[in-house]
A and B are shown apart, each in its own frame.
Chain A
Amino acid sequence: MNDQIVLHYEIPSDDFTRAGEASSNVKKKLKKMGFDPEIVRRVAITMYEGEINMIIHANGGYIDVIITLDKIEIIFNDSGPGIENIELAMSAGFSTAPDNIRSLGFGAGMGLPNMKNYSDEINVESKIGKGTKVYAKILVTKRID
């Protein structure tokens, strides 16, 4: 029998109306599976932040979600401009979002910091001009049956 469920989502570029579609889809599935609501919340927020990041900075990309009984892994892949200074990008309030994005209420510099806060492990790999890969893991510590 399957010991993992893999979900794949293509994230379009520059379409804010579709931001959150993938995360709410995953949220719905996790709830139906009976994962602890707090875990579901952390996955949804981490994923939503990642989705928005891809839309704002990276001309879209794709997300793979791997669900197992004890952890949920989210892998964000884009072929955008890459992150120059990862450490700086991970600090709260730092943003390179242009003014037109900020005027939409995004680009507060909380994307990666929030992803870090809500996940148990995060790893960012980036190559300038090539793209960025973010790996986030959320452990399933509590179960409701």
Chain B
Amino acid sequence: MKDGVYMEKFFTSVTLNKELCKGCINCIKRCPTQAIRVRNGKAVIKKEFCIDCGECIRVCPYHAKEATYDKVDIMKDYDYIVALPAPSLYAQFNNLDDINILLTALIKMGFDDVFEVGSAAELVSEVSRSYIKEHKEKWPIINTACPSVVRLIQVRFPNLIDHLLPLAAPVEIAAKMARDQAIKETGLASERIGLFFISPCPAKVTAVKSPTGMLKSEVDAVLAIKDVYPILLPLMKESMDNMQDLRTIGRIGISWGGSGGEASGLLIDNYLAADGIENVIRVLEDLEDEKLQNLEFIELNACSGGCVGGVLTVENPYAAKVKLKRLRKYMPVANNHMEEREYDELYWTKEVEYQPVFKIGNDLKDSFTKMAQIEELYEKFPKLDCGSCGAPTCKALAEDIVRNEAKEKDCIHILREYIHKITDELIEIDKEIDNR
């Protein structure tokens, strides 16, 4: 991501391969924020609506939705590179009984060092514990490790922003610590050092390019687990006999890879953990209406199963969760603890604000007029939500028309009525001519 533009207002890591897109309605129907339309036979993503959940990538039968991430060959662009493996990476392999085999394989792949994201996660867990205890007025605290969830709250649940855990994601903390360590060990300038996140999901690419709660990400590149996986397999075999002792992660850190893992590291019982974007939205709606009472913490993950369900992973998410469980069996609870001086560095440095992207007008009065128009238009449509117009629902089409992005006759039912009408008129004219 060396040449990337940081701080783009609406960056999304999902892109469309126009050649492959057939213009079907699978993605527009599946998108939880109604961010996709089919225009001129191709899908178009409304960037400001997209929360990077990856649902469209999962559902597209033609693989026309692509995730943006870095290719492995950019490893050569730096003098010293550190791998930051996500805990979900550990869950991709059959019969892996020692994490050091995997970590050694990363060194053999060309990395100069490894800094486990799960180790930084253990620090986040530790700081979260005291933050939750000290901020009862903000209960339930909502986790912020899943960038899609944070984005969703930012654009759709303004009343819940105050509940967000204001801590940097484990990968950011891992990157910061790894950079300090690398500079100290090598004496190299910061920009010669590359910090590579090995990621289960493209939302992390967005979190790097357009970070929330901080000005600039410490991560230099994001590699996909699915790209690294085939490279690691043979190297892991080689590593079995001469593995290095690189593991610093404990049970708490590795548990972050699956849904409920972050919450379990808080050592409290009074939490809720939901995964899968539709379930997440339901929890947030209920929370906003004060239907969920007496909770200390809410862990939300956009992907089913948690990070192991990310679109850049290889293994079935539920099988992966079993593997995480097996791996952590003989591990110490936590291997990483905060030192006093590091404490502040974990907190967000930039305020997270409400971004009302779904607002239909420029001001309340304008929105009001437009909402009335939408209601009126909607009544004209057949309410079949067939998607033929390119919008996911009749309601969405009405909104698009008012936003000047579509027209009434995009609805094939309205178009058909119109054709009938002009056909009847033509017949009438024809008769008139005959009678003359």
Please tell me which stretch of B68-76, B81-89, B344-352, B358-366 contacts chain A, meaning at least 4 of its Cβ atoms lie within 8 angstroms of it: B358-366
A103-120 contacts to B (CB < 8 Å): none
Q: CA–CA, A31 to B365, complex, Å? A: 13
Chain B nearest CB from A26 CB (Å) reads: 11
Q: Considering only CB atoms, which chain B residue lies closest to A114 in the complex?
A: B290
- Is the CB of A71 closer than 8 A to any CB of chain B? no
Q: CA–CA, A41 to B285, complex, Å? A: 11
- Is the CB of A87 closer than 8 A to any CB of chain B? no
Known pairs A5-B372, A145-B362 / 16 extra A-B pairs, C-beta < 8 Å: A2-B369, A5-B368, A20-B291, A32-B367, A32-B371, A34-B361, A34-B367, A37-B158, A37-B159, A38-B159, A40-B159, A41-B159, A44-B289, A67-B368, A69-B368, A144-B356
Q: B291, A48: Cβ atoms under 8 Å?
A: yes
Q: B289, A145: Cβ atoms under 8 Å?
A: no
Residues of B within 8 A of A69 (CB): 364-365, 368
Q: CA–CA, A32 to B358, complex, Å? A: 6
Q: CA–CA, A44 to B285, complex, Å? A: 10
Q: B369, A32: Cβ atoms under 8 Å?
A: no
Q: CA–CA, A34 to B370, complex, Å? A: 12
Residues of B within 8 A of A40 (CB): 159
Query: Known interface pairs A5-B372, A145-B363, A145-B364. Does A34 touch B356 (Cβ–Cβ under 8 Å)?
Result: yes
Q: B356, A2: Cβ atoms under 8 Å?
A: no
Residues of A within 8 A of B367 (CB): 32-34
- Is the CB of A13 closer than 8 A to any CB of chain B? no
Chain B window 362-402, contacts with chain A (Cβ cutoff 8 Å), 1 for yes, 0 for no: 11110111011001000000000000000000000001000
Query: Known interface pairs A5-B375, A37-B354, A38-B159. Does A44 touch B360 (Cβ–Cβ under 8 Å)?
Result: no
Residues on A facing B (Cβ under 8 Å): 1-2, 5, 7, 20, 23-24, 27, 29, 31-35, 37-38, 40-41, 44-45, 48, 67, 69, 140, 143-145
Chain B nearest CB from A63 CB (Å) reads: 15
**Counting chain B CB atoms within 10 Å of each CB, which of A34, A44, A143 scores highest?**
A34
Q: List 10 A-B contacts (CB under 8 A).
A: A2-B369, A5-B368, A27-B289, A32-B399, A33-B368, A34-B359, A34-B364, A69-B364, A144-B356, A145-B364
Q: CA–CA, A48 to B289, complex, Å? A: 8
Q: B364, A33: Cβ atoms under 8 Å?
A: yes
Chain B window 270-308, contacts with chain A (Cβ cutoff 8 Å), 1 for yes, 0 for no: 000000000000000110111100000000000000000
Q: B289, A33: Cβ atoms under 8 Å?
A: no
Q: How many residues of B contact A (CB 8 A)?
A: 26
Q: A31, B368: Cβ atoms under 8 Å?
A: no
Q: CA–CA, A20 to B358, complex, Å? A: 21
- Is the CB of B37 closer than 8 A to any CB of chain A? no
Q: CA–CA, A5 to B378, complex, Å? A: 14
Q: A32, B359: Cβ atoms under 8 Å?
A: yes
Q: CA–CA, A20 to B282, complex, Å? A: 11
Residues on B facing A (Cβ under 8 Å): 156, 158-159, 285-286, 288-291, 354, 356, 358-365, 367-369, 371-372, 375, 399
Residues of B within 8 A of A24 (CB): 285, 289
Q: CA–CA, A7 to B359, complex, Å? A: 19
Residues of B within 8 A of A20 (CB): 285-286, 289, 291
Shortest Cβ-Cβ A-B pairs, 10 listed: A37-B158, A145-B363, A33-B367, A2-B372, A34-B359, A34-B367, A37-B159, A41-B159, A143-B364, A48-B289
Query: Known interface pairs A5-B372, A69-B368. Does A33 touch B359 (Cβ–Cβ under 8 Å)?
Result: yes
Interface of B is mostly: helix
Q: Considering only CB atoms, which chain A residue lies closest to B371 in the complex?
A: A33
Q: B372, A23: Cβ atoms under 8 Å?
A: no
Chain B nearest CB from A38 CB (Å) reads: 7
Q: B289, A1: Cβ atoms under 8 Å?
A: no
Q: Considering only CB atoms, which chain B residue lies closest to A145 in the complex?
A: B363
Query: Known interface pairs A31-B358, A32-B358, A33-B368. Does A45 touch B290 (Cβ–Cβ under 8 Å)?
Result: yes
Chain B nearest CB from A42 CB (Å) reads: 10
Chain B nearest CB from A145 CB (Å) reads: 4
Chain B nearest CB from A107 CB (Å) reads: 14
Q: Considering only CB atoms, which chain A residue lies closest to B155 in the complex?
A: A31
Chain A nearest CB from B292 CB (Å) reads: 11
Query: Known interface pairs A143-B364, A145-B364. Does A31 touch B371 (Cβ–Cβ under 8 Å)?
Result: no
Q: CA–CA, A31 to B367, complex, Å? A: 10
Chain B nearest CB from A87 CB (Å) reads: 25
Q: A33, B159: Cβ atoms under 8 Å?
A: no
Residues of B within 8 A of A37 (CB): 158-159, 354
Q: B289, A45: Cβ atoms under 8 Å?
A: yes
Residues of B within 8 A of A67 (CB): 368, 371
Residues of A within 8 A of B375 (CB): 5, 7
Residues of B within 8 A of A35 (CB): 364
Q: CA–CA, A143 to B364, complex, Å? A: 7
Q: Considering only CB atoms, which chain B residue lies closest to A19 in the complex?
A: B291
> Which of B159, B285, B286, B363 is within 8 Å of A34, CB to CB?
B363
> Which of B291, B354, B371 is within 8 Å of A5, CB to CB?
B371
Q: CA–CA, A126 to B356, complex, Å? A: 40
Query: Known interface pairs A2-B372, A5-B372, A5-B375. Does A44 touch B288 (Cβ–Cβ under 8 Å)?
Result: yes
Q: Considering only CB atoms, which chain B residue lies closest to A6 in the complex?
A: B375
Residues of A within 8 A of B358 (CB): 31-32
Residues of A within 8 A of B285 (CB): 20, 24, 27
Q: Considering only CB atoms, which chain B residue lies closest to A20 in the complex?
A: B289
